[in-house]
Amino acid sequence: MAEKVLMKGNEALAEAAICAGCHHFFGYPITPQTELAAYMAKKMPKIGGTYLQAESELASINMVLGAAAAGVRAMTSTSSPGLSLMTEGISYMAGCDLPALIVNVQRGGPGLGGIQPSQADYYQATKATGHGDFQLIVLAPSTVQEMVDMVFLAFELGEKYRMPAMLFSDGLLGQMMEPVVLPEPGDIKTVEKPWAVTGHGGKRKHNIVNSLYLEPNLLEDTVRARYERYAEAQRTEQRCEEFMVDDAEIVLVAYGASSRICRSAVTTARQQGIKAGLIRPITVWPFPNDAIQKAASHAKAFLSVEMSMGQMVDDVRLALNGARPTYFYGRTGGMIPSPAEVLEEIKKIQEGK
Amino acid sequence: MAVVFERPHALTDKVFSYCPGCPHGIVHRLVAETIDELGIEDRTIGISPVGCSVTAYDFFACDMVEAAHGRAPAVATGIKRARPDNIVFTYQGDGDLAAIGMAETVHAATRGENITVIFINNAIYGMTGGQMAPTTLPGQITQTTPYGRDVKAAGYPIRVCELLSTLDGVALAQRVTVDSVKHVREAKKAIKRAFENQVNGRGYSIIEVVSACPTNWGLTPSEALCWLRDNMLPYYPLGVYKDAYPEEGGAKK
Ligand SMILES: Cc1ncc(C[n+]2csc(CCOP(=O)(O)OP(=O)(O)O)c2C)c(N)n1
Ligand code: SF4
């Protein structure tokens, strides 16, 4: 087995992307994703790849769109304010059925917000990453190792379903150091891209990468066909980790950095005789509805814990459809909930307060 | 019977959707003839903008991408960096290139992206029905300057070639028009050089075509060409604004 190395989340993600065959990175500087771009700037010239510092996130996402249209694995990374600028390009990529990797190392908002970790872009990532009817694959790592593994998954799922994929990280995971195993070279699963613009070579009709359909019936047909792929992804790609859920009466739902806090709160709760458990969505889109519904067969209540004012909690409620009471606990603006605060919430629910 | 005039191979057989008398059709033809003459259709990737030429992807027979409004230079950059051996061109109107996409334009130019830009300056937003463009002339009446463009309120028109000619990354910045046979020939030569520059790895080349929009100017096609000569050309003088490789100029091939 490959050797373990100690790496910062952002840098491990960058190295993993290169291992995954992504040799085209376009970005615009922003905290707290800085190390990722810096790593790419150092590495790409050495492997004959592209690191390009664009003039804005509007430009960088459209460069990614161009490279993805040309059939290569391409990516960008940014943080919340930058992602807002990218939403135009992301909508066009969804409308052109282009796979690519977008990393959002979330920070506090709205506006310029702050530079500390946050999870307040959940709505943006899962409900409206731009105009129009569309979804992204959204993967939420909670360890540095997962940041590495999910880069591969993001490219694979993106290419399989022809969707842009987002790695939904935050400042805490990005800056944190943990031991990781990097993948062996040659582990890349790619697909044919007969739709890509490569020059027709005199061998085929011209390819057109486009999101414009002036005839509404054609646009509707295209969007419906796309939603069939989304439905397939929802059926087969829901991923989550369950921690002590089997007999849990109070089930916490948390992803990314907040799931790490919840895990220790659940462990302490168990030590104190409270049957708590944790469902950690790995795919926040498609959301792990099945696991939540299954847990509702024995759980009395659910608690969504987020570094936001309460966004994912809506999806928990939708999954439960009123079957169980659902509570929310969150901190925002870059404040990180402590395990003790979360335990306190668990106890309140336990005591029926 | 001898064939004396044919559709260029690089144009599909789709009928242009442009208004009668619109110069877009002439410029499409010049680009397609150039692609044919250089024998590059099989490796060319074109980018259509948001504007009247949005559906140019249906008209050019090479691979095509449709970009968001103003983002064609960024999309072209992504394609060119991914496939440096392909020939990449954008085809953009004045709103697309010089308003919403000015940052992308200036930065693609200053990076010396090895791409070819065909810029249609018709002093108006054609597709959305005739609003003021960044190139609308002082005093020009449009839907959104109903009393004429008042430079105190709306600012001055942008001369794109002059502006870009100050950038080191630009290989060629030339302004042409297509109001007469002579000018069409010159335009063709310029467009061809802009593509040849890319084939030779020279960096960013832009050909600005002073064009007309008879429909939104509210003129007949021939009146529009007169208006272009009388009003556009004095403000937007034809000529070469930057040519980093003049020794390669002239009538090649
Ligand atoms: C983000 C965005 N803003 C506005 C529009 C609406 N729009 C479509 S075409 C256009 C103007 C195009 O004008 P120009 O680039 O001069 O090209 P022309 O139509 O004259 O050829 C505008 C504003 C749009 N499609 N997208
Ligand atoms: S609106 Fe103007 S620019 Fe557009 S096709 Fe018609 S004449 Fe040409």
Q: Does A198 touch chain B (CB under 8 A)?
A: yes
Q: Whose CA is nearest to atom 1 of ligand 2?
A: B126
Distance B23 CA to ligand 2 centre (A): 8
Tokens of A235: 């059926």
To the nearest whole Å, the CA of A130 is away from the closest chain B CA by 13
A208 interaction partners in chain B (CB closer than 8 Å): 57-58, 63-66
Q: Find the distance separating the first CA and the last CA of chain A, reported in whole Å.
A: 50
State the greatest distance between any 2 C-alpha atoms of chain A, in Å, as a whole number.
Answer: 73
Q: Does B43 touch chain A (CB under 8 A)?
A: yes
Residue A253: per-residue pLDDT? 98
Distance B217 CA to ligand 2 centre (A): 9
Residue B249: per-residue pLDDT? 61
> Is pLDDT at B32 greater than 90 in this prediction?
yes
Residue A352: per-residue pLDDT? 87
| Residue A302 DSSP SS3 | strand
What digits encode the pLDDT tens for the residues A106-149? 999 999 999 999 999 999 999 999 999 999 999 999 999 999 99
Residue A1: per-residue pLDDT? 58
The answer to whether the CB of B130 is under 6 A from ligand 2 is no
To the nearest whole number, what is the mean pLDDT of chain A?
A: 96
State the average pLDDT over residues B107-121.
98
What domains can be seen in chain B, in order of their start residue?
24-243 (3.40.50.970)
What domains can be seen in chain A, in order of their start residue?
4-199+224-236 (3.40.50.970), 240-350 (3.40.50.920)
Q: Whose CA is nearest to atom 8 of ligand 2?
A: B22
Q: Does B45 touch chain A (CB under 8 A)?
A: yes
> Is pLDDT at B62 greater than 70 in this prediction?
yes
Residues 70-99 (B) with a CB less than 8 A from some CB of A: 71, 73-83, 86-87
A164 interaction partners in chain B (CB closer than 8 Å): none
Q: Between B62, B74, B103, which is nearest A206 by CB?
A: B62
**B252 confidence band (pLDDT: 50, 70, 90):** very low
Q: Please name which ligand lies nearest the alpha carbon of B48.
A: 1
To the nearest whole Å, the CA of A120 is away from the closest chain B CA by 27
Tokens of A319: 């999954």
- Burial label for A227, CB within 10 Å (0-12, 13-18, 19+), is middle
B45 interaction partners in chain A (CB closer than 8 Å): 70, 197-199
Report yes or no for ipTM above 0.85. yes
A-to-B residue pairs, Cβ atoms closer than 8 angstroms: 139
The answer to whether the CB of B204 is under 6 A from ligand 2 is no
Sign of CA dihedral A293, A296, A298, A302: positive
State the average pLDDT over residues A195-213.
98
Q: Which of B75, B90, B107, B198 to mutate to test binding with chain A, by most A CBs within 10 Å of its CB? A: B75
The answer to whether the CB of B51 is under 6 A from ligand 1 is yes
Distance A191 CA to ligand 2 centre (A): 41
**A267 confidence band (pLDDT: 50, 70, 90):** very high
Residue A353: per-residue pLDDT? 66
> Is pLDDT at B253 greater than 60 in this prediction?
no
One DSSP character per residue, B60-101 reads BSSEEEEPPTT-HHHHHHHHHHH-TTSEEEEEEEHHIIIIIT
Residues 6+ apart with CB under 8 A from A186: none
To the nearest whole Å, the CA of A287 is away from the closest chain B CA by 30
Distance B67 CA to ligand 1 centre (A): 12
- Burial label for A150, CB within 10 Å (0-12, 13-18, 19+), is buried
Residue B251: per-residue pLDDT? 42
One DSSP character per residue, A84-151 reads HHHHHHHHHHHHTT---EEEEEEB--STT--SSB--TTHHHHHT-SSSSS---EEE---SHHHHHHHH
Distance B129 CA to ligand 2 centre (A): 9
B12 interaction partners in chain A (CB closer than 8 Å): 206
To the nearest whole number, what is the mean pLDDT of chain B?
A: 96
What digits encode the pLDDT tens for the residues B149-161? 999 999 999 999 9
State the average pLDDT over residues A285-302.
98
10 Å Cβ neighbour count for A1? Answer: 5
Cα–Cα dist A27/A30, whole Å? 9
